[in-house]
Amino acid sequence: MTKNASRMAGRHFLQIPGPTQIPDRILRAMDTPIIDHRGPEFSSLAKRALEGIKTIFKTTNPVIIYTATGTGAWEAALVNALSPGDRVLMVETGQFATLWKNMAVKLGLKPEFITTDWRTGADPAAIEEHLRKDKAHEIKAVCVLHNETATGCLSPIAPIRKAIDAAGHPALLMVDTISSLASTDYRHDEWGVDVSVGGARRA
């Protein structure tokens, strides 16, 4: 047996922002035979999951379970809510915000990027100021990360909603909650979010 093929003792502990460690009882619960995806058992399981997931987003609206990575969910959110040529306001809270902005460019959107020092979350006052200048209401969405995984900066979502309203601007509020959902308080309905993008097995 070569050295590389020898058995490693203990549990591999992956120390990156995600995926997180999954509790053993959850891993054990997944260790069950496959069920018929067209049968009544799956139907009731899916209904329970779709109902229960609303409590995590704190919403009464339907939640869509989308089979993709976080990047795939970003794309789905942008292409479903916006059209090529639309101006969008994004905030550079770190590397993931930068990746979302780069994707917006590739999809033909026109992002305007408010820069930060990567030590603070999105500033509602800066968002309000930017929106007030857009008298023709050409900016169709404000896109922010609730928790920027790369820098750990948390953005204040409710005050950002207030800033959009204070500017009298109709832009949608789109929030990436991929590394904050279920670990940090998040309230889709109460905070007036239009599109929340969450993710499984994160933070």
Ligand X SMILES: Cc1ncc(COP(=O)(O)O)c(C=O)c1O
Which parts of this chain interact with ligand X (CB under 6 A)?
17-18, 69-71, 96, 145, 149, 176, 178-179
Instruction: Give least dist CB 74 to ligand X, A.
Output: 6
Instruction: Give least dist CB 122 to ligand X, A.
Output: 13
> Which residue number, 131 or 143, has a Cβ lying nearer to ligand X?
143
* Category of 58 on φ-ψ map: left (φ > 0), alpha (ψ -120 to 50) or beta: left
> Which residue number, 128 or 177, has a Cβ lying nearer to ligand X?
177
| Angle at which helices 124-133 and 157-166 cross, to 10° | 30
Instruction: Give least dist CB 149 to ligand X, A.
Output: 3
Q: Rounded CA gap, 139 and 123, in Å?
A: 17
> Which residue number, 179 or 196, has a Cβ lying nearer to ligand X?
179
> Which residue number, 101 or 169, has a Cβ lying nearer to ligand X?
101
141 contacts 88 by C-beta, under 8 angstroms: yes
Give residue number: closest CB to ligand X.
Answer: 70
Q: Rounded CA gap, 53 and 50, in Å?
A: 5
Instruction: Give least dist CB 130 to ligand X, A.
Output: 22
Q: Rounded CA gap, 174 and 95, in Å?
A: 18
